[in-house]
Structure formats: C-alpha cells, structure tokens
C-alpha cells in the first residue's frame, strides 16, 4: 500500500514537474510552487475585487486579457465564484503579492494595489503559457529594488502618444515602476511650455537629419523633422502610466543637450547668437549660459510647469555631456564665478545644479541627474544616475548619495545585440547581448552599508538610430526580460532558468504583437 502511495506521489510529482518545466514567470518570484490540477480561465471568468481602490488595476488587467482572448473584457465585480479574487494586506511588502490557484479559483493578495497589479502580470504570463489552464500553484513574491526603470529618448526621434502608451504597456508587463521620459535635447524640444511657446514652435523642429552614422557621415536627408507633446497629452500619458503603477520621471536637460531651447530662445546661450536645432548626433559645444540670471529664471519657469504636469517625486535635470568651453570665454559666466567664489567651470555647473535642486526642494521634489553632476562637487541630497559605467554610482554611494545604476557597459539598449552585427540595423555602437545584461551586478564594489544607496537599476534607450516603433521594441525586447530579473529578483537570479523563461516570454510578446529581436532565440550572440 505504502509503495503504491509512493508511486502515486511520484506520478503526481512527475506531472507537476513536467508542468513546472513548462510554465514560468519572469521576473523570478521568491517562491513558486506548482501543484497538481489546473483552474480554467477564460473571458467569462469574473474578477472579484475587495475594495474600490482595486477597480482600475482590475480593469487594466481585464482589458489586457480581452486583447489576448479577442473577447469582451472580463467582468469586474464585488462577489462571485470560480473567480480571480483581488485584495490587499498592508502587512505584505508594498509591491509584493501572494497568489494561490486552486479549485476555487485564483486569489491574489497584494501589499498594495501595485502588488496586486504585479500578481496579475504573473497570472497573465501563466494564462498565455497554458492557454488558460493555469496550474494550481502558490506564489510569494516581492521586488529587490524600489526603482525599476526604463528610459526613452523622444528627442532624437519622436514617438506618438499611442506609441508611448504601448511602450508603457510593454514595460508594465515586466514589473517596471519608473518611466524616464527624456523630453528635451539638441535635436528637439518635445514638451509644451505655455510661458515659452517658441520652445515647441521653433525648438521642436530640425531642418533635416543626418543619414548614416554620426561618427562618419556628412550626408543629410533634407527633410524637416519635428514633434512634441501638449501638456494635455503629457497628463494623459502620466495617468495611463499611473494606472499601470508606473511613475513618469520627466527629464529637462541643462545646461547641455539644450539646442532645442537655444534655437528657440537664443538669449539662453552665452553669446545670444542664433543656433539652429541640431541635425547631427553627438556632443555640441553650444550650451546654456550659467552666468546670466535670465537662464535661472527660464529654468525655474519651465520647471514650474513641468512640476504641474508630472507628480513624480523625482525630476531629472540631465547635466551630462556639457562642454564648458563657452563658459571660459563668457563675461557673464566668469563674472558669476567671481561673485560666487567658484574656482572652475565645473564648480559653476555645480552651482547651477545646486540652485535648481533648491528650487525643486522648495516645491517638494527631489533632483536626479547624470553622473557628470558629481564633477564640480554635489550636494548630499542629489540622486545620481550613473551612466558612464558604474564608477560614478559607486563613488556616489560611498559618499552617501542615492544612486540609480544605468551603466552603458550593461544597460544601454541602443547598443548592438550581436558581435558580428549581421542582420542588425545601424546602431550607435557597443555590443550588449542578453547574456551580458543578465550578468550585470548593481552591487559591485559596494559593502552592505553602501548597497543601501542603490535605489535601483534602469536601461536607457537613446534613439539617434531608431525612428520606427517596431525597431524601438526590438531593441528593448527581449533584453528587458533579462533586465527585469536584475531589477526585481537580483538575489535569486539563476542563469539555469533564464533560457526557458525567456522562451516563455516570447509567447507574451507574440500575443500582443510586440516586435522583439530574435538573435537570442536563434542562439546568436
Ligand atoms: C548619456 O548617455 N549621455 C546620459
Ligand atoms: Zn555664459
């Protein structure tokens, strides 16, 4: 009898094992136990919510599933059997959740509505992988990092509101909670500022665009290129993201990467000369004057409107790649340095950044900037986004500044995905296959105390060489799936389970028609 029981148990485990090999979740949950049996989910399965605060989260899931099922949205209600039941329990981690699937249905309990949302993302993966025959299981889950970001540059190439929303859909499916929206640069100013209509009227349009690589080409397409978002559209994007538990962090570049603004308002520069919106890629010498008081007034007036549109705790002020040569020749800049006792142009940039941070603090916000803002000294309250490798971030964390890690060595998704580049469209350079993303260690060279200053991890997607949405998503996917394990499941990453889980993620991408790169799946590096 005992033997029979053991045999039966083995058979059950065998089935469970087979299912376990088939279904998986990306990013990796803390615990995922599969049991025997399956609960069938289709478009008629009701979603039962405990409180009104889960209504939007439930409806987003219902709409996403309707797209998959090709049906009407699942009903969201207060009571029902054989249902997907959603509730919260504040004793769980805020973004954590538990999920149980058994004969009675699915029960997801989140630490907050965000936790429920992440539970639903896991459930969606299981539904797609099993065509609705979701195995009985128990899941416990919570993220490693509080900041899990994805960036998008809409200045080099512009993407419509609908495309930005689809981008948000994609990142939400990977449990991302920060969308870094790069809105101003040399090649175009893309955010409506009511006080300065010239910014979008003049600054959002370049006369033409470079063809080929910025390092070698002098050929242009002769076609004007532009685009911008109205404040109403940006509010709509912020709301859409918030419904998916994503905070939009706007970036307003200063003092460099500012030719959109300089073309519109030439008095922002050191010389007042007209400088057109840039038609090339790279780093330009033309930056805002840090001497004139009018520059500070301008920046504060712009930020006043930015703050009204974006409720984000953080405002990104850029700060990268600002050659300070013009400042050396500028009487306004030199006068400011003298008056403020600043010993170098790097210190002048720090003075500008510190003034802007003060303004943001006075308005209840925090400042984040690229690691160049460390160069002339930085306040202890500035948060650093480390992009020139991890060095800036490591140094900042050792000093007690908070850090978001986005090193170009591992997290620049505008880089090539294969070594040979065969079959790849033109890219900025570099080489970043899925495996390298997965190997990224955000805590490298930091002790336990210093690790606390790493808020999180983000990939950056610059668009000099990316003009089409399908191309954009193929730079993001599937590398983002590998990154999501680093962001959400840093302490439980497992290279052994990466490939089968990446294979499962294809089903999600295929279900929603999200174009993704095939190199990893073809075994090409
Ligand atoms: C950067 O890539 N210049 C932040
Ligand atoms: Zn100046």
What would the mean pLDDT of 64-82 be, rounded to a whole number?
A: 96
Residue 321 Cβ < 6 Å to ligand 1: yes
Instruction: Return the minimum-mean-pLDDT range out of 7-11, 82-86, 315-319, 350-354.
Output: 7-11
Domain boundaries, the chain: 2-141, 147-512
pLDDT value at residue 51: 84
Ligand 1 atom closest to Cα of 412? 2
The dotted CATH code for 147-512 is 3.20.20.80
Q: What is the pLDDT of residues 103-129, one digit of tens each?
A: 999 999 999 999 999 999 999 999 999
Tokens linked to 513:
């028609």
Ligand found nearest the CA of 406: 1
- Cβ of 179 closer than 6 Å to ligand 1, yes or no, is no
Do the Cβ atoms of 267 and 165 come closer than 8 Å? no
Q: What is the pLDDT of residue 283?
A: 98
Span 202-206, mean pLDDT? 98
pLDDT band of 22, cuts 50, 70, 90: confident
Active site residues: 185, 257, 321
**Structure confidence at residue 202 (pLDDT):** 98
pLDDT digits (tens, 9 = 90+) for 435-463: 999 999 999 999 999 999 999 999 999 99
Q: At what angle do helices 345-362 and 293-309 cross, to 10 degrees?
A: 40
What residues pair up with 118 in beta bridges, in sequence order?
A: none
Judged against a pLDDT cut of 50, whether residue 17 lies above it is answered with no
Q: How confident is the model at residue 146 (pLDDT cuts 50, 70, 90)?
A: very high
Ligand 2 centroid, distance to 384 Cα (angstroms)? 25
pLDDT in tens, 464-486: 999 999 999 999 999 999 999 99
pLDDT the model gives residue 13: 40
Residue 217, token pair as written in the block: 């080409």
Count, residues in the chain: 525
Provide the pLDDT confidence category of residue 167 given band limits of 50, 70 and 90.
Answer: very high
Does the Cβ of 430 fall within 6 Å of ligand 1? no
Find the mean pLDDT for residues 413-434: 98
As residues whose CB is below 5 A from the ion ligand 2, the structure lists 270, 289, 291, 330, 332-333
Per-residue pLDDT at 14: 40
Query: CA separation (Å) from 113 to 60, 88, 94, 127, 240?
Result: 12, 7, 8, 21, 15
CATH numeric code, 2-141:
3.30.379.10
- pLDDT for position 19: 44
Q: Is the CB of 387 under 6 A from ligand 1?
A: yes
Q: Kind of pairing, strands 97-102 and 247-251?
A: unpaired
The rounded distance, in Å, linking the Cα atoms of 26 and 161 is: 27
- 400 CA → ligand 1 middle, Å: 23
Nearest ligand 1 atom to the CA of 460 is: 2
Q: What pLDDT sits at residue 147?
A: 98
Instruction: Give SS3 for 226.
Output: strand
For the chain, what is the mean pLDDT? 95
């Amino acid at each position: 009898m005992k033997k029979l029981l053991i045999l039966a148990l083995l058979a059950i485990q065998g089935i469970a094992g087979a299912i376990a090999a088939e279904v998986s979740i990306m990013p990796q949950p803390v615990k995922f136990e599969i049991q025997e049996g399956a609960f069938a989910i289709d478009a008629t399965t009701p979603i039962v919510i405990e409180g009104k605060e889960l209504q939007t989260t439930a409806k987003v899931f219902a709409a996403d599933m309707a797209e998959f099922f090709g049906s009407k949205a699942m009903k969201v209600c207060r009571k029902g059997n054989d249902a997907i039941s959603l509730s919260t329990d504040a004793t769980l981690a805020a973004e954590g959740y538990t999920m149980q699937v058994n004969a009675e249905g699915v029960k997801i309990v989140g630490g907050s509505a965000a936790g429920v949302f992440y539970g639903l993302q896991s459930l969606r993966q299981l539904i797609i992988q099993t065509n609705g025959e979701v195995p009985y299981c128990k899941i416990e889950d919570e993220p490693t990092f509080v900041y899990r970001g994805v960036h998008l540059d809409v200045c080099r190439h512009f993407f419509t509101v609908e495309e930005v929303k689809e981008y948000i859909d994609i990142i939400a499916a990977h449990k991302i909670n920060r969308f870094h929206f790069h809105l101003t640069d040399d090649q175009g100013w893309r955010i409506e500022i009511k006080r300065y209509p010239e910014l979008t009227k003049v600054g959002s349009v370049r006369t033409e665009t470079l063809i080929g690589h910025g390092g070698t080409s002098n050929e242009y397409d002769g076609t004007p290129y532009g685009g911008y978002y109205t404040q109403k559209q940006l509010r709509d994007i912020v709301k859409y993201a918030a419904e998916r538990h994503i905070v939009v962090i706007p970036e307003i570049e200063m003092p460099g990467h500012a030719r959109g603004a300089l073309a519109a308002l030439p008095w922002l520069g050191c010389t007042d000369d007209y400088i057109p919106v840039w038609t090339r890629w790279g780093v330009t010498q033309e930056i805002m004057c840090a001497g004139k008081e009018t520059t500070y007034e301008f920046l504060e007036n712009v930020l006043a409107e930015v703050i009204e549109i974006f409720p984000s705790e953080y405002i990104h002020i850029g700060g990268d790649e600002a050659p300070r040569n013009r400042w050396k020749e500028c009487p306004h800049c030199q006068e400011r340095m003298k008056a403020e006792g600043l010993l170098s142009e790097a210190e002048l940039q720090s003075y500008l950044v510190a003034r802007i941070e003060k303004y943001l603090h006075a308005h209840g916000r925090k400042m984040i900037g690229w690691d160049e803002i460390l160069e002339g000294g930085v306040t202890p309250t500035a948060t650093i986004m480390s992009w020139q490798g991890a060095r800036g971030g490591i140094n900042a964390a050792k000093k007690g500044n908070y850090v978001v890690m986005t090193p170009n060595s591992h997290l620049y998704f505008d880089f090539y995905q294969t070594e040979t580049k065969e079959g790849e469209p033109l890219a900025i350079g570099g080489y970043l296959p899925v495996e390298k993303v997965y190997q990224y260690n955000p805590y490298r060279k930091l002790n336990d105390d210093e690790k606390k200053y790493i808020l999180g991890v983000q990939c950056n997607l610059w668009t000099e060489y990316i003009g089409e949405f399908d191309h954009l998503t193929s730079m993001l996917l599937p590398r983002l799936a590998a990154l999501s394990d680093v962001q959400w499941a840093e302490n439980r990453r497992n290279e052994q389970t990466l490939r089968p889980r990446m294979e499962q993620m294809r089903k999600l991408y295929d279900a929603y028609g999200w174009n993704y790169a095939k190199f990893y799946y073809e075994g090409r590096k």
